[in-house]
Every structure is written in C-alpha cells, then in structure tokens.
Amino acid sequence: MKTFKVLGGGCRNCEVTADLISQAAKEAGVEIQLDKVTDMAEILGHGVMSTPGVVLDGKVVHAGGIPGPDQVREWVKG
C-alpha cells in the first residue's frame, strides 16, 4: 500500500490535491493511505517551502501548486 501525505495549512489547493489523489486511487482500484499534514514544523521538516506538498512513501514528489491529473495517476499506479 502506498502512503501519501498532503502537506499544507488546509487551504483550498491542499484540499483539491488530496481529492485528486483519492479519486485517482479509487479509479485505479489501488488502496492507499492518505494523511493531511498541517503542522508547519513537520512540513518544513520535509523541506517543503511552498504548499501544497505531496510526500509519497516518505519522499517529496511535489511542492507548490496543484499537481496535474496525469502526474497524480502516475504516482498511484507507479
């Protein structure tokens, strides 16, 4: 199972990013764990300065803006 973390303060872009990941996993029939991280110390601990950030299995794969749908599908399937 893949583990995703969406890093951000709970802004609209963070919510959209989390929804994109959930929807892509559902469409692909892949089970994931999705956590939303709003703690700034933890966000900065990942080295993310611009949110939303996405961490996949402990590695930052995106930061600063909503990721594209194709990119999200690739994370879920890859």
Choose the catalytic residue: 14, 54, 66, 72: 14
Q: How far is CA 42 from CA 17, 32, 47, 49, 66, in A?
A: 18, 21, 9, 11, 20
Q: Is 11 a catalytic residue?
A: yes
Q: Categorize the per-residue pLDDT at 7 as very low, low, confident or very high, splitting at 50, 70 and 90.
A: very high
| CA dihedral of residues 37, 1, 78, 3 (deg, nearest 10) | 10
- Distance of alpha carbon 26 from alpha carbon 66, whole angstroms: 19
> Which residue in the list 3, 9, 11, 50 is annotated as catalytic?
11
Q: What is the pTM of this model?
A: 0.95
Q: For the domain with range 2-77, which CATH number is right: 3.40.50.1820, 3.40.30.10, 3.40.50.620, 1.10.10.10?
A: 3.40.30.10
Whole-number Cα distances in Å, 67 to 13, 15, 41: 10, 12, 23
State the average pLDDT for the chain. Answer: 97
Would you state the structure tokens that stand for residue 27, as one six-digit string? 């469409």
